[in-house]
Structure 1
Amino acid sequence: MRDYGKVHTAFWTSASIGELSEDGRMLALYLLTCPHGTIAGVFRIPDGYACEDLKWSQERVKQGFDELFRKGFSNRCETTKWVWVIKHFEWNPLENPNQKKSAIKVASQLPGACTWKSDFMRVCGPYMGMSEEDIHNHCETVSEGFLNQEQEQEQKQDTSSSLRSEEGRVAKSPAPSPSGRQKREETTLAKYLADCREKGVKPVPDDHSVRTWAQDAGISDEMLQVAWLVFRERYTEDSQYKAKRYKDWVGTFANSVKDRWFSLWFAGEGGVVSWSSTGLQHKQVLDARVAKRKEQEAAHATA
């Protein structure tokens, strides 16, 4: 618990805040100043806390959080009830090593089941002075008996059948014979993509379950394509992630889609899935690349 929360005077003149409804502004102000807040900008807000403090109904609280999520102000995990004020460190920079230690201590309390935990660590870890290794370790820390999304992915790879035939049986076997099949080795995404090109297969097979899941969730093929573009660039071009190794890259991509690692879309009223501002930006990049490729093909055809 903190004694006060900082609110800049620009809060009232900000274009993004001005676009919020009256309830949205009130809830945003509440998150910035409520006694549950922390130095890290992440804290647990069960419905009962907000209902009691704001004197709102549970449905009103839920609608308020949905609006703040759509506008990119905050993200709330409905499973754990933890909230992340996304630009907290931009508005409240850590000023000394002791504050950074306090923020890391708060971040370490995030439960592994929190849907945005990995995104928070990747985005905010540098603000807290964490090294790449520290961020990776915190992303894979199990809290309160839960597995986070990356650890769960690794466990599933070793305990369930995989896309390659026979491997599931090897993983389940308590003592595989020396002559049996070897478990899949961890590899970088660049190596996985190179292997796919050599074999002439798609990196994400047409029959993979992530495609059916996305369709059932209302996520369009175009959204899934953009998600793959962002995922691929992160793990092949970003110096922080391109050395990352996984056994099942398709499964990892599926997790990124289901847990919205990149915040490319949101579910609005009636559950309709729409592009977020971040998603639209990445879609624009994809559209530009497709248009450029078509121009080059047309030029080559007429040459």
Structure 2
Amino acid sequence: MSKREFSKVSPALWRSKRFLALPKDRCRLLLVFYMTCGHQTSAGCYRISEGYACSDLGWLPEDYRTARDPLVECGLIAFDNDTEEVFVSGWFRFCPPMNPKHAAGTMALIADIESDRLREQAEQEFAPAYTALQARSPRLPGR
């Protein structure tokens, strides 16, 4: 379990066309779960087995997969079936690193992502947030 005490969720979520177009309330609930659950890390990516997710949500596996698939299809999350890792797309737009220590910890978490595809996506999405932090923190080393 993560030691995170909170996650930022933008009020813009409730105006998002992709979010509002999801076919069921369970899909929207699952996205909010992915963004805020105790498994979440500052990298926006973590491993969560179907069993853990179903236990946390009180859902059957079929219900979980039925809610997860539309999130993948519309690009709100990326999921790797082989590693059971989920990445919340756009994570760093709303949860960027706040200081050099936070950035270093996030980079370490990204490096530990088992899925090559999800690690590459996280690295690509992290880069602009890191660049913005560098502009605010002149002593932060280049990547």
For normalisation by structure 1, the TM-score amounts to 0.40
- Alignment pair present for 1:32 and 2:35: yes
Q: Does the CA contact (< 8 Å) of 2:92 and 2:125 recur in 1?
A: no
- Alignment pair present for 1:89 and 2:92: yes
Q: Does the CA contact (< 8 Å) of 2:27 and 2:67 recur in 1?
A: yes
Q: Take 1:6 and 1:118, find their aligned partners in 2: how far apart are those partners?
A: 23
Aligned to 1:241: none
Q: Take 1:92 and 1:116, find their aligned partners in 2: how far apart are those partners?
A: 17
SS of the residue corresponding to residue 76 of structure 1 reads strand
Q: Does the CA contact (< 8 Å) of 2:43 and 2:122 recur in 1?
A: no
> Structure 2: which amino acid aligns with 1:41?
G
Q: Take 2:84 and 2:124, find their aligned partners in 1: how far apart are those partners?
A: 20
- 1:1-303 matches, cutoff 5 A: 1=2, 2-20=4-22, 21-111=24-114, 113-129=115-131
1:100 deviation in Å? 0.6
Q: Take 1:67 and 1:58, find their aligned partners in 2: how far apart are those partners?
A: 15
1:13 deviation in Å? 2.5
SS of the residue corresponding to residue 115 of structure 1 reads helix
1:73 deviation in Å? 0.5
Q: Does the CA contact (< 8 Å) of 2:90 and 2:125 recur in 1?
A: no
> Structure 1: which amino acid aligns with 2:121?
D
Aligned to 2:138: none
SS of the residue corresponding to residue 75 of structure 1 reads strand
Aligned to 1:195: none
> Structure 2: which amino acid aligns with 1:115?
R
1:114 deviation in Å? 4.1
Q: Take 1:114 and 1:58, find their aligned partners in 2: how far apart are those partners?
A: 25
Larger of the two Rg values belongs to structure: 1
1:117 deviation in Å? 2.4
Q: Take 1:115 and 1:6, find their aligned partners in 2: how far apart are those partners?
A: 24
Q: Take 1:4 and 1:123, find their aligned partners in 2: how far apart are those partners?
A: 21
Change (3 A) 1:123 1:33: closer
Q: Take 1:17 and 1:38, find their aligned partners in 2: how far apart are those partners?
A: 22
> Structure 1: which amino acid aligns with 2:13?
F
Q: Take 1:6 and 1:116, find their aligned partners in 2: how far apart are those partners?
A: 21
> Structure 2: which amino acid aligns with 1:120?
A
Q: Does the CA contact (< 8 Å) of 1:103 and 1:128 recur in 2?
A: no
> Structure 2: which amino acid aligns with 1:118?
E
1:118 deviation in Å? 2.3
Change (3 A) 1:59 1:114: farther
Question: Which whole-Å deviations, capped at 9, do the CAs of 1:228-248 have from their partners, x for residues lacking one?
Answer: xxxxxxxxxxxxxxxxxxxxx
1:126 deviation in Å? 4.0
Q: Take 2:69 and 2:112, find their aligned partners in 1: how far apart are those partners?
A: 24
Q: Does the CA contact (< 8 Å) of 1:104 and 1:128 recur in 2?
A: no
Q: Which consecutive unaligned segments of at least 5 residues does structure 2 have?
A: 135-141
Percentage identity across aligned positions?
A: 27
Aligned to 2:137: none
> Structure 1: which amino acid aligns with 2:53?
A
Q: Take 1:94 and 1:71, find their aligned partners in 2: how far apart are those partners?
A: 26
